[in-house]
Amino acid sequence: MSDVGGGRDAGAVPSAGGGPASAGARVPDGVPSERGGEVVFASPPEDLLTAAERGGRVVSGGDWRALLRGESLDDVHHAGRPLVRAVRLVLRDADWRTLPLEAESVSGSLDAPEGIVVRGIARDPLASAAAPGAAPSGAALSGTALSGTALSGTAPFGTAPFGTERLAAARLAVAPLASWTLTARADADGLVVRAEVRAERAFRRNRIGLVVLHPPALAGSPLVVEHPDGTRTSTVFPERIAPHQPARDVAALEWEAHAGRFRVELAGDVFEMEDQRNWTDASFKTYSTPLALPFPVDVEPGEVVVSEARLTCTLPLTPPPVTFVTRARASHRRVVTGATTGDRIPLVTTMASTAPEAARPAALDPRLARSPLVVEVDPATPRWTDAVERAGRESAGPIDVRIVATDADEAEAAVARVLSLAGVEVARVGVFSRATHASESDLLDGAGRALALAGRPIELLGGVRGHFTELNRTHERLSAWRGPLAFSITPTMHDLGGQQIAESLAMQRLVREDATRIADGRDLHVGPVTLRARFNAVATSRAARVARDPLAEGYGPHLDPLATDGRQAAASLGAWLVASASALARDPVRSACWFEQWGPRGLQVGEALTAAGVVFAWLLELAGHERLAVGGPDGAAGGADDAVAALAAASDAGPVVLLGNLGHETADVELVPPGRTPAPPALPTVESALGGVRDARADVHGAFFFALAPGEAVRVRLMRA
């Protein structure tokens, strides 16, 4: 079984220039399947999708076909061959936030002389949140309906969700930053995508223009880079996750895949490529405005920025070596459990809530009360030790403390202060630079001195507090540090779409594998893993700070209006957590941390334990137990189209299997227990994270059968023979 979600909307999708089309499950490498003569595209469960993803439509002209979602032309194919994952218009502000784009009109068709034309506007979500009367006190925009971003928000605990009506009012209360037009036209010479952005107000930007997203399946494939002066460089799409740009000074790219030779020509700026797998995005991204140039840049009212991408299939070699298939509505998934892998499920933790005391639930679910906590603090915050003490009271066992500091003296003093707190038991301490977000050597030295003076057996943690990107780029500076390493994960650094949230799961596995190589025998501590970034690691402006009391005001992520995602309580997030744990719970990972314990970013939102909270409680029970092998037919690992994730472990009472369906269709699961015998087995207990027990049936060969709804996670307890 794989830890990759599949599938787009199950219902009919309006089509421009290509008639009605249905949506379906993604097959390997993004190749479409065919149902009723139409190309169909991938989707995770409905509650993870954004409005733009649900409203996407298939567009076609000649041999070209794609999925139009607002400002993005996704899953571009030529004659059945997948070419690129997306050609997308992107606006990044001075703090590298991706501005939400609202599509206001769509006209034309892909094969018309004028092409298909999308017009829209860009607004600043932070300014919209501050609009007078736009939302309740404390609420904040975190996306827009037509942008491919999540329509959700943050609000004081106990208030109603920040709904579409309030968001619409907030958007209308603030003038747009820019207007934009995206045009796509297909002809015999190729597919041309053109973006034009006009500033309506003065603002500062780091990037405006088209980006091209290439599929991760191209890793290791030859790549030819054509430069603005006409010279050419031969290279490859990187196999391992590249810390820095694998291609610079780009005017065009050429590569071969799926029996076709493809070319993309770029205009309007100088482009370069980065490996977005660093952030668990499933793509290589070619973008404009090289990072070597100064940023941010002032944009004046009336200024127009134009960029263009021309895609061609320069030499079709042979017919594509794929067979279009029709998938049944209820897809059969065979899950084979086997012997122990030699790995153990690591320590399972969650982050101490950063929400204010007013957001505390009346009763914390007792299943969460069994969790050890990670707490992240800044000694520059007034009364910062209050957060450490609260975490100490709420943690089941010693806490993991992550401290940000400027120099060795501050790190030493902060660690010493933590160790002096009465009643607070500490398992490990990590120290990270405010400037680089990495454990610089002087900070580790300062923290080490404090631990030595205390004479307590507390682990000192290095690494980075941000994305794997920072670890990938700074690990050589940490080569002298032979202690454990940390890094965090968020799937929505560049794209808030549900498709990206699901597709990040396969990239989490790659990130863990590359981090293991970097660790070179050292232990890893992964997390916090959160839907949104806890802080903006690339901001050029100062983050909001606590004024007086972190427990009264909230602290850290709670002060960032873009750190909260409305899908935190989504039923499908339980299935997503199964897949994330499957990707990360391997040696040398010694602990993995997901989400916050309670609050708007928590495993418990309000008085209710979320589906992710239920799965987290199951993981807590498996921590320390041997992991069992899980595969598809004949023990295979499962393909990239396999929407069912699985994690199995040996427990004292017998094997336990966690399953999550990240597809949009019901999965008929056949579960093959380890060491089955011909004797009729006792039926297992199949508990759903959504509540209740699933019915199962068995055959005489010892396999079990049950249905798994879209987005559902279950725990299967197998009776010991």
What is the pLDDT averaged over residues 616-637?
79
- Give the whole-angstrom CA distance, residue 705 versus residue 681: 12
pLDDT band per the 50, 70, 90 thresholds, residue 413: very high
- Give the whole-angstrom CA distance, residue 121 versus residue 196: 11
- Give the whole-angstrom CA distance, residue 621 versus residue 371: 10
Higher pLDDT, 716 or 162: 716
What is the pLDDT averaged over residues 601-610?
94
DSSP for 415-442, please give it. Answer: HHHHHHSTT--EEEEEEEETTTSB--HH
- Give the whole-angstrom CA distance, residue 519 versus residue 589: 10
In the chain, count H helices and then E strands. Answer: 11, 45
Residue 366 CB contacts under 8 Å (≥ 6 apart), including other chains = none
- Give the whole-angstrom CA distance, residue 7 versus residue 666: 11
Plot region of 55 (φ>0 → left; ψ -120 to 50 → alpha; else → beta): alpha
Report which secondary-structure segment, H or E, holds 166: helix 164-172
Q: Is the pLDDT of residue 391 over 60?
A: yes
Helix (H, G, I), strand (E, B) or coil at 192: strand
Q: Is the pLDDT of residue 302 over 80?
A: yes
**Tens of pLDDT, residues 49-71:** 988 888 888 999 988 999 999 89
**Tens of pLDDT, residues 673-713:** 876 544 445 678 889 998 888 788 888 777 888 899 999 99
Q: SS3 breakdown of the chain: % helix, strand, coil, rounded to 5?
A: 20, 40, 40
Q: Is the pLDDT of residue 526 over 50?
A: yes
- Give the whole-angstrom CA distance, residue 563 versus residue 556: 9
Return the pLDDT at 318. 54
- Give the whole-angstrom CA distance, residue 35 versus residue 21: 8
**Tens of pLDDT, residues 305-338:** 999 999 998 766 554 443 322 223 346 677 777 7
Query: What's the N-to-C CA distance of the chain in angstroms?
Result: 25
Q: Whose structure tokens read 């008929």? A: 668
Higher pLDDT, 691 or 596: 596
Residue 523 CB contacts under 8 Å (≥ 6 apart), including other chains = 484, 485, 588, 589, 590
Instruction: Kindly state the tokens that stand for 328.
Output: 């049944």
Q: Is the pLDDT of residue 141 over 50?
A: no
β-strand pairing of 644-651 with 626-631: antiparallel
Plot region of 71 (φ>0 → left; ψ -120 to 50 → alpha; else → beta): alpha
Q: Angle at the Cα of 51 (from 659 to 666), degrees rounded to 5?
A: 30
Q: What is the mean pLDDT of the chain?
A: 82
Q: Which of 29-33, 470-474, 514-518 has the lowest mean pLDDT?
A: 29-33
Alpha helix (H) residue ranges in 481-532: 498-519
* Bridge partners for 309 per DSSP: 193, 266
Q: Whose structure tokens read 């940490």? A: 478
User: Helix 441-454 crosses helix 408-420 at what angle (to 10 degrees)?
Assistant: 30
What is the value of pTM for the model shown? 0.86
Residue 192 CB contacts under 8 Å (≥ 6 apart), including other chains = 115, 183, 184, 185, 186, 308, 309, 310, 311
- Give the whole-angstrom CA distance, residue 581 versus residue 619: 8
What is the pLDDT averaged over residues 659-680?
78
Q: Which amino acid is at 571?
A: A
Cβ(147)–Cβ(68) under 8 Å?
Answer: no
- Count of residues in the chain: 721
Q: Is the pLDDT of residue 477 over 90?
A: no
Residue whose C-alpha is closest to residue 331's, from 37, 641, 578, 30:
641
Q: Is the pLDDT of residue 38 over 70?
A: no
- Count Cα atoms within 13 angstroms, Cβ side, for 194: 13
Alpha helix (H) residue ranges in 422-497: 441-454, 468-474
Q: Angle at the Cα of 562 (from 556 to 564), degrees rounded to 5?
A: 75
Plot region of 692 (φ>0 → left; ψ -120 to 50 → alpha; else → beta): left
Whether the bond between 484 and the residue before it is cis, its omega within 30 degrees of 0, is: no
Burial class (CB in 10 A: 0-12, 13-18, 19+), 689: buried
Instruction: Kindly state the tokens that stand for 680.
Output: 């009729």
What is the pLDDT averaged over residues 568-595?
96
Return the pLDDT at 331. 66
Radius of gyration of the chain (CA): 25
Report which secondary-structure segment, H or E, holds 53: helix 51-54
**Tens of pLDDT, residues 429-446:** 999 999 999 999 999 999
Q: Which of 210-224, 292-306, 587-601 has the lowest mean pLDDT?
A: 292-306
β-strand pairing of 667-672 with 331-344: parallel
Q: Angle at the Cα of 96 (from 91 to 98), degrees rounded to 5?
A: 40
Cβ(56)–Cβ(68) under 8 Å?
Answer: yes
CA separation (Å) from 51 to 9, 47, 177, 497, 498?
11, 10, 22, 9, 10
Neighbours of 586 (CB within 10 A): 20
What is the pLDDT averaged over residues 418-424?
95
Cβ(645)–Cβ(505) under 8 Å?
Answer: yes
What is the pLDDT averaged over residues 180-203?
93
322-361 in b/e form (b: 16+ CB < 10 A) is: bebeebeeebebbbbbeeeeebbbbbbbbbbbbbbeebbb
Q: Whose structure tokens read 């030493």? A: 412
What is the pLDDT averaged over residues 580-598?
96
Neighbours of 471 (CB within 10 A): 28
Q: Whose structure tokens read 């399972």? A: 348
CA separation (Å) from 709 to 173, 413, 575?
41, 52, 10
Cα 338–chain centre separation: 29
What is the pLDDT averaged over residues 486-499?
93
pLDDT band per the 50, 70, 90 thresholds, residue 636: very low
Return the pLDDT at 316. 60
Cβ(11)–Cβ(29) under 8 Å?
Answer: no
- Give the whole-angstrom CA distance, residue 578 versus residue 715: 10
Cα 349–chain centre separation: 19
Instruction: Kindly state the tokens that stand for 344.
Output: 């153990």
- Give the whole-angstrom CA distance, residue 256 versus residue 260: 6
Helix (H, G, I), strand (E, B) or coil at 482: coil
Instruction: Kindly state the tokens that stand for 625.
Output: 């137990």
According to the per-residue pLDDT averaged within each range, which of 12-21, 396-405, 488-497, 676-685 is highest?
A: 396-405
Residue 444 CB contacts under 8 Å (≥ 6 apart), including other chains = 411, 431, 460, 462, 481, 483
Residue whose C-alpha is closest to residue 663's, from 582, 577, 575, 584:
575
Neighbours of 447 (CB within 10 A): 27
Alpha-carbon dihedral of residues 56, 61, 65, 71, nearest 10 degrees? Answer: -40
* Bridge partners for 627 per DSSP: 649
